[in-house]
Amino acid sequence: MKNLDKKIDFTNPYALLARDDKGKMDVKVLSEDAIVSPSKKGNAIEVINSLKKRLLYYSRFV
């Protein structure tokens, strides 16, 4: 993933897929309530608590 220069608030539905160096799927977010912020180790993704159940559900299919 490309590092960001500034914090981005996503207010529209989107899907974010991230793969590690070996091609393994690491992240799958289907949300309109997430914040992506730049960090030293890459981009940080914050989601609200109500989405965690959905993320856990969707991660079973990855």
pLDDT digits (tens, 9 = 90+) for 41-62: 766 666 665 566 666 666 666 5
Is there a domain that residue 2 lies in? no
Tokens 């959905």 sit on residue: 54
For 45, the domain range is 8-59
Q: What is the 3-state secondary structure (H, E, C) of 9-43?
A: EECCCEEEEEECCCCCEEEEEEECCEEEEEECCEE
Is there a domain that residue 25 lies in? yes
pTM above 0.85, yes or no: no
Q: Can you tell me the distance from the alpha carbon of 57 to that of 43, in angstroms, rounded to the nearest whole number?
A: 23
**Considering its fold, how many domains does the chain have in total?**
1
Average pLDDT, the chain: 61
Q: Can you tell me the distance from the alpha carbon of 13 to that of 9, in angstroms, rounded to the nearest whole number?
A: 11
Is there a domain that residue 3 lies in? no
Is there a domain that residue 36 lies in? yes
Q: Enter the DSSP assignment of 47.
A: E
Residue 22 has pLDDT above 70, yes or no: yes
Say what the pLDDT of residue 21 is: 73
Is there a domain that residue 24 lies in? yes
* More confident call, 13 vs 54: 54
For residue 3, give both structure tokens: 């590092």
